Amino acid sequence: MFYGGGRDAAQRKLLEEQLRQYQKTKAVGQVTGGIAHGFNNRLTGIGGSLDLLQTRTAQGRPNEA
């Protein structure tokens, strides 16, 4: 009886540790996803500005860029 109870406690401890690891991994994924999203937004703005600069320069109007 004692052996079975000890085994269940060990298994429970293992499962709790796995859950904590999963939660940490999920949190890191959410943070990195947010950073990537913000970075992508900034790159989109930069790309649009570069396209406008290139178009105005090709039209011979670099001062309007």
State the average pLDDT over residues 29-52: 96
Backbone torsions φ then ψ of 59, nearest 5 degrees:
-80, 0
Give the count of domains, the chain: 1
Instruction: Report the pLDDT value the prediction gives residue 43, as an integer from 0 to 100.
Output: 97
Q: Is 0.75 topped by the overall pTM?
A: no
What is the domain extent for residue 33?
2-64
* The pLDDT of residue 54 is above 70: yes
| 25: pLDDT strictly greater than 70 | yes
Write 38-42 long-range contacts (CB < 8 A, 24+): none
pLDDT tier for residue 62 given thresholds of 50, 70 and 90:
confident
